[in-house]
Structure 1
Amino acid sequence: MYFKALILTASRAGTLVLCGLLASAAQAEGDDTAAGAPTRDPLARGTYLVEGPAGCGNCHTPLGPEGFVSGQELSGRLVDKNPAFTAYAPNITPAGRIAGWSDAQLARAIREGLRPDGSVIGPPMPIAMYRGLSDSDLMAIVAYLRAVPAVENEVPQSTYDIPLPPAYGPPIETVAAPPAGDTAAYGAYLAGPVAHCMECHTPMGPQGPLFDTRLGAGGFEFTSPLGVVVAANITSHPEDGLARYSDAQLDRMIRQGIDAQGEPMRPPMPYPFLAKMTDEDTAAVIAYLRSLPPLASQE
């Protein structure tokens, strides 16, 4: 299990049967696009997810001196280089390697971390969280990736000096879409499989993130050009956590990257993407965070 801890630790520095998936998406027709889960327009839903809370471009879009490079969206870049691995987020536009994959193969790569040749996608791809993506949201993301402009950008293969698992879990046949709305239950889905907030904001133990005992307690350190950034405690703890902030303050932190004192917050939070979240989805995430048991930052 040690390799799992290494993989999950590293992943924070930066989850099908096609007929069954399409059937689930078809059954979803008639639901409200803006509200969240399924939609009669998969491309619209995929656009919202990828460009919004899922924030795929936070890793897959090249960075320049002034931020993300316009016109190079999702064409891949170096994400992290450390003693354990050198990770490149691949070009996921139609000009990249996924062009030759079927929709089912692409969906499996996203949700299960397995390429068509059976090789495993390593960190920082948060496969542990993506395994909970609903069928309809997964296929909406696939629809979006098929529709984005093709961008030519040759990206090297990632290399790993740590062992990768043969798989991240058993094969996934279907995941139902949760009911959308400004509820804690839907917020858990958004903060988990969609935006994978809980992966970065949960401390690490010997076997991986302590989801069962320390969910959301923060403390993970990121090294960035701006120095060391520590993931915040996002539980309902009255002193260390979020209980001291109003919903409006939390909304501003999430969507604007502005703290309670009016100061700008620092990456790696994907603020340009979270800024596109709907009011209802943001309220759902806040409701979920309010529901987390209060945990002190230090045990």
Structure 2
Amino acid sequence: MRKFLLVVLLIIVLVAGGVAWFVTRKPASAFDNVTETQAPSEQLLQRGEYVARLSDCVACHSTPKSAPFAGGLEMGTPLGSIFTTNITPDKETGIGNYTLADFDRAVRHGVARDGHRLYPAMPYPSYVKMSDDDIQALYAYFTKRVDPVRQADRPSDIKWPMNMRWPLALWNAVFTEPGRYQPKTAGDELWNRGAYLVQGPGHCGSCHTPRSITMAEKALDESSPLYLSGALLDGWYAPSLRSDPNTGLGRWSEEDIYTFLKTGRNQHGVVFGSMADAFNNSTQFMTDDDLKAISHYLKALPGDPARDGTPWQYVEAASDTGSSAAHQQNPGAQTFLAKCSFCHGVDGRGKAPWISPLAGATSSLAVENASQINVTLNGSSRVVASGIPDAYRMPPFRQQLSDQQIADVLTLVRSSWGNHGGAVAPGDVKTLREHTDPASSRPIVLQMR
């Protein structure tokens, strides 16, 4: 019996030791044996700035009140809030002491210089696909071109024991896929460039792919029909980027996608919510070739007719929301006429490309109603194209309309003109009113140099 207990104890010690080694080891970097011997060229620095735009680093590592990349943005999680870190080259509070290998481990593997694990709010499950050349250029830009800012990182408010980082090593082993993006023989050069940009630096799946109970993305590439099929994330519904005719890009052409990413608007809609930040700080700065590659790749992703249902078609209202009968009988119609019809039209068609149509809009057809509630409560950010803010934006109605009024008008919108998104309950509005904070508006456009 004593020998048996000793054997069991030995096994426990060995297993514990193995787990301890696994969770504390630093992953290998492609740059472990690289010695930096000379200053980066101007071409490399410019390439790094472009990769930072592709990766939209500024969106998370900045706030409206901070210098670019100094961190401090609050990000909600089911366990509590975390705050983005300072990635300027300050030696005390930023990444000024990071080597290229340290930087690579943080970006592509989620491991900081001191060995602690990063939360996957940092999209390293996507960034792991980035090429060595792009990582090297990004490092040169952040260490040699970005201005250092002394600003200490703010600790998360996640309580013990859930704030322990070592379990993330096990999470990574199960839910991430190692290795750079490898071109697929089934796709041409343009398709593969688009796939690399969407899956890697663009990390589109971080918002547009549904997550499991473990908060892992359910798919990381087009091999799964769940990839980019739409997801609810922190008060917004990121729609499908597949060819779903109702909730995705099925009615969009490649040119429509390109125009949307290049100008922030097209005949189908205008960027709002988190996508407005992505446009303002990232997609409009991409080259035409890269935008066309992304459009080509996304348009190649098939939809799911079984999930998406019969394609939407415009239906004339039997009695228009502007009629006196509708006005008297439907409180949602009263609110629509007073607050919405001037811009979006009594027919819901909007004034493309400046004002989005409500008829046939993805947000009017998706079961998830968070985006429509959120944008009605809090309005939308300015769309800033080529440094010029637009003259049209959705105003906030948080102070003007009650939960019941917002529920009524959105129920009307989501059931008119062929829309079939479903009714909105006042409780849904109340929940998002409490969850969202209009004071925490995102930056418009930050100059990165």
Say which of 243, 246, 264 aligns to 2:253: 246
The answer for the alignment partner of 1:9 in structure 2 is: none
Would the alpha carbon gap of residues 106 and 98 (structure 1) be closer, same or farther in structure 2, given more than 3 Å must change? same
* Deviates most, 121-130 or 253-262: 253-262
The whole-number CA distance in structure 1 between the counterparts of 2:257 and 2:265 is: 9
Q: Deviations over 1:232-285 (max 9, x none)?
A: 111022343212112232123223322534544322551122110110000111
Aligned-partner Cα distance in 2 for 1:250–1:198: 17
Question: 1:178, 1:144 → 2: CA distance?
Answer: 26
Unaligned runs of 5+ in 2: 1-27, 309-449
1:202 aligns with: 209
Contact 1:182 1:287 in 2 (8 A): no
Measured against aligned partners, the alpha-carbon deviations of 1:30-86 in whole angstroms (never above 9, x if no partner) come to xxxxxxxxx993222111011x2210000001224xxxx5xx111111331445132
Identity of counterpart residues, as a percentage? 25
| Contact in 1 for aligned 2:83/2:155 (Cα 8 Å) | yes
- What SS class does the counterpart of residue 117 from structure 2 fall into? coil
- Shift of the 22–43 alpha-carbon distance from structure 1 to 2, 3 Å rule, reads farther
Residue number among 139, 142, 149 corresponding to 2:147 in the alignment? 149
CA distance in structure 2 between the aligned counterparts of 1:176 and 1:126, rounded to whole angstroms? 15
Between the two proteins, the alignment pairs up a number of residues equal to 257
TM-score by length of 1: 0.75
Alpha-carbon separation, structure 2, partners of 1:297 and 1:254: 28
Equivalent residue, structure 1, for 2:12: none
Q: CA RMSD in A?
A: 3.2
Residue 91 of structure 1, aligned match among 86, 92, 95 = 86
Q: Is 2:217 the counterpart of 1:215? A: no
2:105 matches 1:108: yes
Residue 165 of structure 1 aligns with which residue?
168
Q: Answer yes or no: is 1:118 the counterpart of 2:125.
A: no
* Cα 1:235–1:176 shift into 2, 3 Å: closer
Distance 1:205 1:19, change over 3 A: closer
1:44 corresponding residue in structure 2: 46
Check conservation: 2:30, 2:101, Cα contact below 8 A: yes
Shift of 1:92: 0.7
Partner of 1:7: none
Assess if the C-alpha contact under 8 Å between 1:234 and 1:241 holds in 2. yes
Structure 1 residue 16 and structure 2 residue 38: aligned? no
SS of 2:234 mapped into structure 1: strand
DSSP-derived class of the 2:54 partner: coil
Q: Counterpart of 1:237 in 2: which secondary structure?
A: coil
- Picking from 258, 275, 284, the partner of 1:275 is 284
- 8 Å CA contact 1:74–1:93 kept in 2: the answer is yes
Letter in 2 for 1:165: L
Deviations 1:144-167 (A, max 9, x none): 110211122223133544464126
- Structure 1 counterpart SS, 2:153: coil
TM-score (norm: length of structure 2): 0.51
Whole-angstrom distance in 1 between the partners of 2:262 and 2:234: 20
Mind listing any 5+ residue stretches in structure 1 that lack a counterpart?
A: 1-14, 24-38, 224-228
